[in-house]
Amino acid sequence: MTKKIMIVFGTRPEAIKMAPVIKALEATPELEPITVVTGQHREMLQQVLDIFDLKPAYDLAIMQEKQTLTTITNKVLKGLDPILERVRPDMVLVHGDTTTTMAAAMAAFYHQIPVGHVEAGLRTWTKYSPYPEEMNRQLTDNLTDLYFAPSQQAAANLTREGHPRERIKITGNTVIDALHYTITEDYHHELLKRLTPTHRTILLTMHRRENQGKKMEGVFQAIRHVVESRGDIDLVYPVHLSPAVQKAAHRVFDGVDNVYLIDPLNVVDFHNLAARSYFIMTDSGGIQEEAPSLNRPVLVLRETTERPEGVKAGTLKLVGTDPATVEHEMNSLLENPLEYSAMAQAKNPYGDGHAAEKIVKSIQSFLAQV
């Protein structure tokens, strides 16, 4: 009999990393994928649905400007309740650590439906860093029945917490699968023509809640200072649609030469432009995982990371948000070719790009046993 797998997600990164899983489920006749989007993101989510041609069966459309964690949680729980009641899936699949993830896992638990967690086991062990993601993933893993760990380290974190070993599968990260769909050799973008050919391009993204406010402004001022004082780099910054981020980015960067503030890019554009940049500066989680496969160094604008694999491999450098340190690290990477090539040549620690197939096989054997 066909088993129903409900995939629930709400934000851009979840969609990018769940798309390969949905494709693999669609290719498996015994499993029926049913996609539910919470709509925690709107435009940024739609960009991904369009690129991967994903057609959700349900859209809770919960997004509102400056939404709070409480309203997201309330709306996801309330919206999923009747859908779970009606559809009664055999498993609910969630991804990562957003508030959609945590609330969807809780909704499934209330209906006593098994939960599969893709990208399980990431930890900083620091309650508010990142906020609220660290607690979102810990809470989700307490509600999970089948864990898809992207690395040995993530699996070890789960066993350390006492989750049963036989329920933990090491799959690699599905973002490596997604890169197979997006990266092309003969890529063109109008922006590439506008950049100065003799300049090196730095790609920036920054959006985390714990960085918003003073920290974010300080980092932006430091970057602006480096761009203005050197005159030999271009900065490309696709700005997250969060009003707090938009405001800070435009306040600091508007009118600055060699700075390109643009709308969020669709994922094909982002991956291909990332692959053609000199290095990346970010507080994003997903970008830290993609960079080793793209051979691009990353200065991580955070105090902690739940991606120690990338730091160990050498691609990621934890820089934090102190403006003087940010300036120093940017100049150092721009001026030291040896430092640069050591970071650029690190090996991708996130698997072989077949994570989605492994996840689907594990789901099949799990459901055969229950």
Active site residues: 97, 119, 133, 207, 209, 240
User: Considering the rule CB under 6 A, would residue 195 count as an interface residue with ligand UDP?
Assistant: no
Q: What is the DSSP letter of 302?
A: S
The binder of 55, among ligand UDP, ligand UD1, none, by C-beta within 5 to 8 A per type, is: none
Judged by beta carbon, residue 84 or residue 122, the one nearer ligand UDP is: 122
Q: What is the DSSP letter of 166?
A: G
- Side-chain half-sphere CA neighbours of 320 within 13 A: 6
Break the chain down into helix, strand, coil percent, rounded to 5: 50, 15, 35
User: Considering the rule CB under 6 A, would residue 287 count as an interface residue with ligand UDP?
Assistant: yes
Is the alpha carbon torsion for 169, 179, 18, 55 positive or negative?
A: negative
What DSSP letter does each residue of 215-281 carry, written as one string?
HHHHHHHHHHHHHHHH-SEEEEEE--S-HHHHHHHHHHHTT-TTEEEEPPPPHHHHHHHHHTSSEEE
The binder of 43, among ligand UDP, ligand UD1, none, by C-beta within 5 to 8 A per type, is: ligand UD1
The binder of 66, among ligand UDP, ligand UD1, none, by C-beta within 5 to 8 A per type, is: ligand UD1
| Bridge partners, 203 (sequence order) | 236, 280
Q: What angle do CA 73, 79, 83 make, to 5 degrees?
A: 135
Could you say which of 170, 265, 280, 356 contacts ligand UDP (CB under 6 A)?
265
Judged by beta carbon, residue 265 or residue 334, the one nearer ligand UDP is: 265
Contacts within 8 Å (CB) and 24+ apart, 67-72: 67/40, 69/99, 69/132, 72/38, 72/40, 72/99, 72/100, 72/103
User: Considering the rule CB under 6 A, would residue 297 count as an interface residue with ligand UDP?
Assistant: no
User: Considering the rule CB under 6 A, would residue 285 count as an interface residue with ligand UDP?
Assistant: yes
User: Considering the rule CB under 6 A, would residue 290 count as an interface residue with ligand UDP?
Assistant: yes
Q: Give the position of tokens 């390109």.
A: 260
In the shown chain, the binding pattern of residues 145 to 184 toward ligand UDP, with x for contact by CB under 6 A and - for none, equals ------------------------------x---------
Report which of 104, 16, 13 is spatially closest to residue 54, judged by C-alpha positions.
Answer: 16
Judged by beta carbon, residue 174 or residue 242, the one nearer ligand UD1 is: 242
| Bridge partners, 169 (sequence order) | 148
In the shown chain, the binding pattern of residues 214 to 253 toward ligand UDP, with x for contact by CB under 6 A and - for none, equals ------------------------x---------------
Alpha carbon of 53 to those of 9, 15, 25, 45, 269: distances in Å? 15, 11, 14, 12, 16
User: Considering the rule CB under 6 A, would residue 13 count as an interface residue with ligand UDP?
Assistant: yes
Judged by beta carbon, residue 93 or residue 360, the one nearer ligand UD1 is: 93
Could you say which of 272, 284, 304, 321 contacts ligand UDP (CB under 6 A)?
284
User: Considering the rule CB under 6 A, would residue 100 count as an interface residue with ligand UDP?
Assistant: no
Judged by beta carbon, residue 117 or residue 207, the one nearer ligand UD1 is: 207
Judged by beta carbon, residue 240 or residue 358, the one nearer ligand UD1 is: 240
Q: How far is the CB of 227 from ligand UDP (least distance, A)?
A: 19
Size of the site for ligand UDP (CB under 6 A): 17
The binder of 243, among ligand UD1, ligand UDP, none, by C-beta within 5 to 8 A per type, is: ligand UD1
Site for ligand UD1, rule CB under 6 A: 11-13, 40-45, 63, 65-67, 69, 98-99, 132-133, 207, 241-243
Residue 121, token pair as written in the block: 């086991």
Judged by beta carbon, residue 263 or residue 335, the one nearer ligand UD1 is: 263
**Helix/strand/coil (H/E/C) assignment for every residue in 174-217:** HHHHHHHHHCCCCCCCHHHHHCCCCCEEEEEECCCHHHCCHHHH
Answer yes or no: are the C-beta atoms of 45 and 15 closer than 8 Å.
yes
Span of 67-75, 139-147, 267-275, 328-336 interacting with ligand UDP by CB under 6 A: 267-275
User: Considering the rule CB under 6 A, would residue 270 count as an interface residue with ligand UDP?
Assistant: yes
| Bridge partners, 58 (sequence order) | 36
- Side-chain half-sphere CA neighbours of 241 within 13 A: 16
Contacts with ligand UDP by CB under 6 A lie at 12-13, 16, 175, 205, 207, 238, 264-265, 267, 270-271, 284-287, 290
